[in-house]
């Protein structure tokens, strides 16, 4: 069944999965995204690989759009805001540091492996962020508490479909119920992906307006 969002409850906490590659928590008004990889095109260009320069502008535009739509009190980026410290120019750095002012909301960054060495002001930075029943991280973490959900990025989950020789890949939200982990889809335009395990519960992003639950 196609939906413009998909609601999922963890204990008494509502999680709203959005086809815009974001997760919204209405109770705390937190908007979560991950794996934007800003500066990736520049990084590849530095190594002689031509890529479009439009990806960063598209990513900023999409962030602005969903923040305007949901009016969160916090935008939390679960790691890999940047692709590399070597591709952060003055203009890109200023755009990121201006985000709280431009979006009129608090912006927090949970550090990812690609963010190592990045010096950014105006964003509150964490290694791991914990709430009453949710742990936010970039890479998945082992939790001893079965009541706690780990929401993370890094995996870039994708669903790969085949039909009579045709192939299709879709970004998705993926839940590992055995480990209480919810993987968010990569937000950035220039990001690859990894196949989900068959045991994962999956919600596939069909378009920017549609998300569907995949029945295993």
DSSP result, 152-175: E-SS-EEEEEEETTEEEEEEEEEE
Tens of pLDDT, residues 27-75? 999 999 999 999 887 777 777 877 777 889 999 999 999 999 999 999 9
- CATH of residue 207's domain is 3.60.21
Say if CB 212 and CB 192 are below 8 A apart: no
Question: Is 216 in a helix, a strand, or coil?
Answer: coil
Gap between the Cα atoms of 69 and 48, Å rounded: 38
Its domain, for residue 81, covers 2-214
pLDDT band at 173 (very low <50, low <70, confident <90, very high): very high
- What's the average model confidence in pLDDT over 147-169? 91
pLDDT band at 170 (very low <50, low <70, confident <90, very high): very high
Per-residue pLDDT, 2? 60
Instruction: Look up the pTM and report it.
Output: 0.94
What ranges make up the beta strands (E) of the chain?
A: 2-3, 6-10, 13-18, 22-25, 30-33, 74-77, 106-110, 124-126, 129-130, 134-137, 149-152, 157-163, 166-176, 181-183, 194-195, 201-205, 211-214
Q: What is the mean pLDDT of the chain?
A: 92
Q: How many residues does the chain have?
A: 216
Tens of pLDDT, residues 92-140? 999 999 999 999 999 999 999 999 888 899 999 999 999 989 999 999 9
């Amino acid at each position: 069944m196609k939906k413009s969002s998909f609601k999922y409850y963890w204990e008494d906490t509502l999680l709203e999965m959005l086809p815009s590659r974001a997760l919204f928590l209405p109770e705390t008004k937190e908007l979560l995204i991950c794996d934007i990889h800003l500066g990736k095109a520049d990084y590849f260009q530095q190594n002689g690989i031509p890529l479009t320069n439009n990806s960063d502008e598209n990513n900023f535009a999409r962030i602005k759009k969903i923040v305007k739509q949901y009016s969160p009190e916090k935008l939390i980026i679960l790691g890999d805001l940047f692709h590399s410290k070597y591709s952060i120019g003055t203009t890109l750095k200023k755009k990121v540091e201006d985000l709280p002012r431009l979006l009129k909301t608090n912006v927090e960054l949970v550090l990812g492996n690609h963010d190592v060495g990045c010096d950014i002001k105006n964003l509150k930075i964490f290694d791991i962020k914990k709430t009453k029943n949710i742990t936010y991280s970039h890479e998945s973490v082992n939790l001893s508490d079965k009541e706690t959900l780990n929401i993370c990025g890094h995996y870039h989950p994708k669903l790969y479909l085949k039909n009579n020789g045709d192939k299709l890949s879709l970004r998705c939200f993926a839940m590992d119920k055995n480990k209480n982990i919810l993987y968010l889809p990569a937000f950035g335009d220039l990001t690859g992906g990894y196949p989900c395990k068959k045991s994962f519960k999956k919600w596939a992003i069909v378009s920017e307006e549609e998300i569907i639950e995949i029945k295993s």
